[in-house]
Amino acid sequence: MVKLALLGAGRIGNIHGRNVFLKPEAELVALYDPYQPNADQLSKVLGCEQMTPQQMFADPSIDGVLVCSATDTHADLIEQAVASGKHVFCEKPIDLSLPRVQEVVAKVKASKIISMLAFNRRFDTNFALLQQRIAAGEIGEVEMVSVISKDPAPPPVEYINVSGGLFRDMTIHDFDMARFLLGEEVVEVSAQASCLVDAAIGEAGDVDTALIMMRTASGKLAQISNSRRASFGYDQRFEVHGSKGMLTATNVNEHTLTSYTEAGVTSAKPLHFFLERYEQAYRSELAGFISALNGADLVLPSMNDGYQALRLAEAAILSVQQGRSVAVSEIGLADVQSDREYCHD
């Protein structure tokens, strides 16, 4: 039985905590949240005790921690997990500072812990199958990847100020999926961005609409279309073109009913909220982490994946600021660690 502790009992912490509760091979033994009402409510629902982070890291019976706290605490908590020998599952991002992420990744690499960065979209049933079909050679060599990613509505400006902005917060998932589907690293990024949805976002120094082009060393291309607005729902689509064919993954709708009448043909809109859209993916990613702790030989999204995605975000930001294509080699280090981060010794 794997024993886990939860750091952060907010919206995403609630999801992961409840998902642990559904896994018979794992137990959530403790949680912490600085906002006491959150901690009280979730600990009562899940029947676990409350501990401080220091108590969690000092408790030899706890195998791993789930870091679902505020972004500015992630890096420190990962380092504490490394120091105490606790396995760690962390929500993105590791940190908004690339040098700080580099430090954390290096420490994780030097340790023997199992670590995972929660890039949940890799665990969506449709997107995982898409990558598996690519890896099996169904469409030959990948030549182009197209990512469409639009939120139903922009977040509050207060969130923009602490999240790192569009590229570091929203597009970071799309950068990771582009790497996941391309199967090789991006070497060049070119981005255009505007503020078309909410003027307050522009006043806060960010953008809400963007197009990003990327190229790998072998010439494979990827494009990302982002917007903070999609009036019809949460828009998440992929198209992968290869030498022998093409694969697509479309939106998940509210229901599968289609109506055919004289007036026309109608069907449901895509799911509106990302927590509903990726409900299955959240369960599957945590199941993968728990399986790894129980000895399964899996390749999980690593801290290095988070670092590489952040490098692409920084390249996109620089491209917008300077109006030019940016070589990814200009941003950070390419080889902080190997991509397959964890192992069982």
Per residue of the chain (345 residues), give pLDDT as tens.
999 999 999 999 999 999 999 999 999 999 999 999 999 999 999 999 999 999 999 999 999 999 999 999 999 999 999 999 999 999 999 999 999 999 999 999 999 999 999 999 999 999 999 999 999 999 999 999 999 999 999 999 999 888 999 999 999 999 999 999 999 999 999 999 999 999 999 999 999 999 999 999 999 999 999 999 999 999 999 999 999 999 999 999 999 999 999 999 999 999 988 888 999 999 999 999 999 999 998 889 999 999 999 999 999 999 999 999 999 999 988 766 443 443 333
At 261 the pLDDT is 96
Domain boundary among 82, 102, 119: 119
Whether residues 231 and 314 share a domain: the answer is yes
Per-residue model confidence (pLDDT) at position 274: 86
What residue numbers bound the domain in which 35 lies? Answer: 2-119
Q: Do 234 and 145 belong together in one domain?
A: yes
pLDDT of 332: 86
Beta strands 186-194; 326-327: pairing state: antiparallel
Looking at residue 182, its pLDDT comes to 97
Please tell me whether residues 125 and 114 are part of one structural domain.
Answer: no
* Residue 288, domain member (yes or no): no
CATH number of the domain that residue 42 is part of: 3.40.50.720
Sign of the dihedral through C-alpha 163, 164, 170, 174? negative
d(CA 241, CA 243): 7
CB count within 10 Å of CB 180 equals 20
d(CA 213, CA 51) in angstroms, rounded, equals 46
Those residues whose C-beta lies under 8 Å from the C-beta of residue 34, and which sit 6 or more positions away, are none
Q: Residue 262: count other Cβ atoms within 10 Å of its Cβ.
A: 4
Let me know whether 147 and 108 are in one domain.
no
Question: Based on the domain organization, do 112 and 54 belong to the same domain?
Answer: yes
Evaluate if pTM is beyond 0.85: yes
- 57 and 206: one domain? no
Number of domains in the chain: 2
What is the structure's pLDDT at 46?
Answer: 94
* Virtual torsion, Cα 118, 120, 121, 127, nearest 10 deg: 110
Return the SS3 of 214.
strand
pLDDT of the residue at 264: 96
Co-location of 142 and 232 in the same domain: yes
In a domain, 194, yes or no: yes
Give CA separation, 91 vs 25, 173, 189, 282, 331, in Å: 22, 12, 25, 11, 23
Is residue 340 situated within a structural domain? no
CA angle, 60 as apex, 57 and 61 as ends, to 5°?
110
